[in-house]
């Protein structure tokens, strides 16, 4: 089982990055078609999430030279920031839904 861990981690990373890139493309498309506040917030949240993911990736590369306390602190801060970017995404999504519901005519 231990021999398959690098393969499983690689597959997980590939799936994550494909999903993030598709989501980024969808948000860019949304903002280009309808520049709503909710759409712009969604796009900002996806960009922040990608930024923190890339930062985490590079920290993994240079982690060999880092002190353990510094590495744990970085991961803690990165997890908080990534969580905040996801919360921002949820806020933008709810805002976008509210904007879309207002556009639906009542019968």
**What pLDDT, on the 0 to 100 scale, is given for residue 59?**
78
**What pLDDT, on the 0 to 100 scale, is given for residue 1?**
61
Q: What is d(CA 42, CA 97) in angstroms, rounded to the nearest whole number?
A: 12
Structural domain containing residue 44: 2-103
| pLDDT, tens only, 48-88 | 999 888 888 777 777 777 788 888 888 888 889 989 999 99
Q: How many domains does the chain have?
A: 1
How would DSSP label each residue in 7-43?
HHHHHHHHHHHHHHHHHHHHHHHHHHH---HHHHHHH
């Amino acid at each position: 089982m231990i021999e398959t861990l690098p393969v499983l981690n690689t597959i997980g990373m590939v799936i994550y990055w494909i999903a993030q890139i598709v989501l980024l493309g969808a948000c860019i498309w949304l903002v280009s078609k309808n520049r709503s506040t909710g759409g712009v917030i969604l796009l900002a949240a996806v960009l922040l999430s990608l930024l923190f993911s890339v930062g985490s990736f590079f920290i993994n590369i240079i982690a060999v030279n880092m002190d353990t306390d510094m590495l744990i602190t970085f991961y803690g801060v990165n997890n908080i920031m990534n969580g905040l970017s996801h919360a921002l995404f949820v806020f933008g999504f709810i805002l976008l839904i509210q904007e879309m519901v207002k556009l639906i005519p009542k019968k």
